[in-house]
Amino acid sequence: MSKGVAITGMGVISAIGNNVSENYTSLIEGKKGISKISKIDTIHKNAIMVGEIDFTNEALEEKLGLPADNNYSRTALLGVVAAKQAIKNAGITDINKYKTGLISSTSVGGMDKTEQYYYEYLDDVTHRKYIESHHAGDSTQKIAKQLGLEQSLVTTISTACSSAANAIMLGARLIKSGELDRVIVGGKDCLSKFTINGFKTLMILSDTYNSPFDENRKGLNLGEAAAFLVLESDKVVKAENKKVLAYVKGYGNANDAFHQTASSENGDGATLAMEQALKVAGLKPSEIDYINAHGTATGNNDLSEGRAIQRVFGNDVPDFSSTKAYTGHTLAAAGAIEAVYAVLALQNNVIYPNLNFKTQMKEFDITPQTILKEKELQTVLSNSLGFGGNCSTVIFSKGQ
């Protein structure tokens, strides 16, 4: 049994940077990664904005040194980039030295290739190599292979927009129970016509820069990203004399059991998830210094989440902001990139501004932090809420 769950490494690639330090610079400089879409030829290109990663697939393949006949989806490419950064950051040279696992997550999997070659597969053999890379577990298997992780506990979670938060949660539980000594956790999702059109039919895509918790918010911007964190047990931290970036202190998952895609008006699921996470962490609400909200900037999410925050924190709501205005909503990766941002907040004692906020929501009087704030932080609570009523909260702390 391990008491603490230490974070000893992290990696990220998103619309605001290709590594941890680039992401941090954008966050403190208020630099958004939202633009018109350039890499997918969609009829919606003038009607939506997205958080796109600059690299083309070819550039990523080259960066990773993959052979020409590889069958990596963009999801897998992004995942490998972020996971390799995390391993390097944690100073891991022999990945099989300890009982190590990989818990990844994705919602779109290899759909980017499937939608591209859907009919072509039938009479053209050229792209059939991608048939096997469609399923959601494929990108995780590829990351394990690229990290040299063999004969290990490797699995994938898909709970829509809360996927990566759940991967972190499972990783933490596996370490606490002593099942594993080290777990690489995270998520990855690329942009695809499938998700763009899916969210379009739900009528929750904004045609301009998304503005979380704003009265006049028009919906979300989709984004693509990948992020991974290395979690290690007390035993490994001690044996390897590891530098600990932060700890996973608490976690909670609950189901809203209200509607397949919408959140309940009072955020029952989110409330339960936050309460559970506080309980696991052994913290009082007043001991939370910053909330990195899910804040997708849809009418429904921000209202439901805001109400849930009020239910948990009462009249003493800590500073909160959503970073979705920077990156867009990166779906299954969101909980992982925001975990990286939470750790950076703890390390640097900063609260990121909730960009694009102009008008107070009329349903409640809580207001997000709108300018960069320097403040000594001990704890950050991060929310991830998804389809299927899936609500997750992870609490990160500076100390054990």
Out of 212, 269, 335, 353, the residue judged to bind another protein by CB under 8 A: 269
User: Exactly one of 44, 127, 134, 161 is catalytic; which is it?
Assistant: 161
Q: How many residues bind another protein (CB under 8 A)?
A: 68
Of 169-177, 213-221, 230-238, 370-378: span binding another protein (CB under 8 A):
169-177
Of 31-39, 54-62, 128-136, 238-246: span binding another protein (CB under 8 A):
128-136
Q: Does 170 bind another protein (CB under 8 A)?
A: yes
Of 55-63, 151-159, 293-301, 321-329: span binding another protein (CB under 8 A):
151-159
Is 294 in the active site?
yes
Is 135 in the active site?
no
Joined together, the tokens standing for residue 240 give 């390897």
Q: Does 390 bind another protein (CB under 8 A)?
A: yes
Out of 197, 360, 367, 370, the residue judged to bind another protein by CB under 8 A: 197
Is 329 in the active site?
yes
Q: Does 228 bind another protein (CB under 8 A)?
A: no
Whose Cβ is closer to another protein: residue 151's or residue 315's?
151
Catalytic residues: 161, 294, 329
Q: Which residues are near another protein by CB under 8 A?
A: 42-44, 102, 106-107, 109, 111, 114-115, 118-119, 121-122, 128, 131-132, 134-138, 140-141, 144-145, 149-160, 166, 170, 173-174, 177, 179, 193-194, 197-198, 200-202, 253-261, 268-269, 272, 386-390
